[in-house]
Amino acid sequence: MNATQLKNRAARLLARLNALGISKAGKPLVIDQVYELIAAEEGHRNQHVLRQKLEDPAAAEKADAQGRLQWHQACNQAGWNRESEIIHLEGFIAEKGLMAEFGAYALAAAAEEQTSSDDLSTEACSDCGKPLDLAGWDGRCGDCADRHEKGSAADVMPVLEAAGYTVQDSDFKRPYWEFRGEASEDFDSDDDAWHDAWEHAQDRVISLTGRDADDWADLSLATRLALVKKHLTESTDDVVRRVADEAFDNHDFGDLEVVSSNGWEWTSGVPLMVRTVFLQDKRTPEAMSQKWRFTVEVKAGAVSNVSVLRG
C-alpha cells in the first residue's frame, strides 16, 4: 500500500463510518482517527509506524501509471465500450474479494453526492435559467457571472468597433476578427470572436499603459471599456495617417526602388496624404534618382486610390 492508496482508503472508511453515525464522544470521526483504525487493522502500533512501512511514492506512482496505461491499451485493442469496461472492472473486484468494500464505498459516495445535491439552492440564474448553487454571484451562475464580468458581446462591440475591430467570415464560413493588419483564428460563433477580440484589446492596452495584469483584472468592466476606448480609438487623422503608411509600405514600385522619402503632407480633416519620394530605376543604377509624388486617398478607413506621379 502506498500513500495515495492509504489516503483513498481512509477517505472511503471515514465517509462510511460517518454515514453509519459512528462517532467518538458524540462527535463525528476525523481522518486521523481513521488512520489509526487502518494502522491497527494492518497490525501496526499506530499510523506513524504504518506510514514508515508504505511503499516508495515514486515507485508506486510509476506502477500506477503503468497499470493505467495497460488498462487503456487493453480497452482500445479489444474495442471495449463503457459497458464492457464496467463488466471487466466488476469481475476484477469480485475476483480480488473486494466487492463488499467496493459496495460500501459506492453507497457512501452516493449518499455524499445526494447530501450535496440536497444542499443546493433552487434559485435559477437570472441570465440562463440554470439552477443556482450556493456559490452564485449576484443572481448569476458561475459561467454567466464570468461572462458578465468579462463583458458580453453586446457590451464590448461598440467600443471594439470604434477602435477598428471587425468580425467577418473566413473562407471556411466561420467568424474571426481583424484589427489593423492582425487577424485571429476562426471561431464557432460571432460572440466567441468578439470575446476573443475583447481579450486582445485589453492585452494591447495593458502593454501600452504598462499596467499590471492583476491590477487590470480588479478594474470594473466600465473602467476597462473606457480605457480601451481611450487608448485604441483613433481620430480621423490618425486613421488616415495609418492607412497611408500601410499603403506606402506595401506599394509595389515595380522596377523602381525607394531611395529616400519625405514626411506626409496633409490638411487636417482632409483624407488625402501626399509625400515626396526619390526613386531609383533598378535597371540603370548609375542614373540619378528621380523625384516623385506619392498620393493616397482614404475613404471609410481604407485606401480608395493610390497614385505615383513624377514630381
For residues 221 and 169, state if they share a domain: yes
Instruction: For residues 162 and 269, give the distance between their C-alpha atoms in angstroms, rounded to a whole number.
Output: 18
Domain boundary at 214, 232, 250, which?
Answer: 232
In terms of pLDDT, which residue wins out, 126 or 287? Answer: 287
Indicate the SS3 state at residue 303: strand
Q: Tens digits of per-residue pLDDT, 124-149?
A: 777 677 776 544 556 667 666 666 66
For residues 80 and 113, state if they share a domain: yes
Return the top range by mean pLDDT from 53-57, 139-143, 267-271. 267-271
Asked if 229 and 163 touch (Cβ cutoff 8 Å), the reply is yes
For residues 173 and 220, state if they share a domain: yes
Instruction: For residues 275 and 242, give the distance between their C-alpha atoms in angstroms, rounded to a whole number.
Output: 14
| Residue 308 grid coordinates | 505615383
Give the domain extent around 263: 236-310
Domains contained in the chain, number: 4
For residues 216 and 250, state if they share a domain: no
For residues 167 and 254, state if they share a domain: no
Return the top range by mean pLDDT from 4-13, 115-124, 197-206. 197-206
Which residues are registered as beta bridge partners of 24? 27
For residues 244 and 220, state if they share a domain: no
In terms of pLDDT, which residue wins out, 117 or 1? Answer: 1
Indicate the SS3 state at residue 309: strand
For residues 12 and 103, state if they share a domain: yes
Instruction: For residues 247 and 33, give the distance between their C-alpha atoms in angstroms, rounded to a whole number.
Output: 76
Query: How do the residues of the chain divide into helix, strand and coil, expressed in percent and rounded to 5?
Result: 50, 20, 30
For residues 26 and 107, state if they share a domain: yes
Q: What is the pTM of this model?
A: 0.44
For residues 80 and 10, state if they share a domain: yes
Rounded average pLDDT over 244-257: 94
Judged by average pLDDT, the poorest of 3-7, 28-32, 111-115 is 111-115
For residues 144 and 161, state if they share a domain: no
Domain boundary at 205, 232, 259, which?
Answer: 232
Domain boundary at 232, 257, 285, which?
Answer: 232
For residues 226 and 253, state if they share a domain: no
For residues 202 and 256, state if they share a domain: no
pLDDT of amino acid 106 = 86
